[in-house]
Amino acid sequence: MNSHNPTLLELQHAMQRSVLNGRDGDVEAWMVDEGLSTTMRLGIYRNTSSSVMATALRLAFPAVRQLVGEEFFEGVSRLFAAQTPPRSAWLDAYGSDFPAFLGRLPHAASVPYLADVGRLEWQVNRVLHAVATLPLDLAHLAALSEAQLAQAHLVPRPEVRLVRCEFPVDAIWRAVLEGDDRAMVAIDLADAPVWLRVLRTDSGPEVVRLREDEWRLLDALFSGQPLHAALAEARGEQTHALLAAQLASGYFKDLDCDITSVAQSSKG
């Protein structure tokens, strides 16, 4: 046993190295060997930690799990967890890198759309756990001058997400979760790419295909471009009509302006 009295931070780092990297020696030096051996006790912690992370991934990616099977998913989840530990104690936020990990995995190459299904499921997971917000009061737009409106940034609601995929993953996702083998067989993988909007509704997540021009305008606005820049980038004949429809759909929660705040504008 190490005679040095470790700080809490030293203990935490040593435990992290043991649980995530299998380096038991550092923390074992500060453990009392009573009852179960230190190696066995650390093994229990390691297995529990790995199981908790795998469970978080299982909940976030149900369609991916069904596509590859329970055994394969369990192994892949534990491999991912060993390489990519959580950066937050909030495990509902764990798994953002999992779709990209699946895309690099040689053993998953036989399911070419697997990573894209994961990308869609991650956005579904994000909207399901997003903080509830209210849609933007469109009266704020009327309170802005033309110069302010041109520089205004629309703030998207966290309950709304966008994702573009190279495969028709919306159809795959529905068919898998609904257990509809007939629908799965009928899917044409060439019916892509797809431009998707994911929205949390009272009845659950809603995944809808958008036209490319609709999606690109929304994406520009969601990325923080000011209104005039987003409209110029869209360059479509129906751009202003699309913007009006998107505003009316309640995809945004607030309006920021580089010149002055909406609140000040409303008072003025």
- pLDDT at position 46 is 74
- pLDDT at position 267 is 41
Q: For 183-230, how does the pLDDT look when each residue is reduced to its tens digit (9 = 90+)?
A: 999 999 999 999 999 999 999 999 999 999 999 999 999 999 998 888
Confidence class of residue 2 from pLDDT cuts 50, 70 and 90? Answer: low
Mark out the alpha helices in the chain (DSSP H runs): 8-21, 24-28, 38-60, 62-68, 70-83, 98-104, 114-128, 139-142, 146-151, 169-177, 181-186, 212-222, 227-234, 239-248, 262-267
Other C-beta atoms lying within 10 Å of the C-beta of residue 9: 8
Q: For 122-159, how does the pLDDT look when each residue is reduced to its tens digit (9 = 90+)?
A: 999 999 999 999 999 988 888 888 888 888 899 999 99
Q: Is the pLDDT of residue 90 over 90?
A: no
Ramachandran quadrant class, 133 (left: phi over 0; alpha: psi -120 to 50; beta: rest): beta
- Structure-model confidence comparison of residues 161 and 40, the more confident one: 161
Q: Could you tell me which residues come within 8 angstroms of residue 66 by beta carbon, excluding any fewer than 6 positions away?
A: 176, 177
Please state whether the peptide bond connecting residue 168 to the residue before it is cis, i.e. omega within 30 degrees of 0.
no
- Ranges of each domain in the chain: 1-111, 134-268
Q: CA dihedral defined by 119, 122, 128, 133, rounded to 10 degrees?
A: -80
Q: What architecture (CATH level 2) is domain 134-268?
A: Alpha-Beta Complex (3.90)
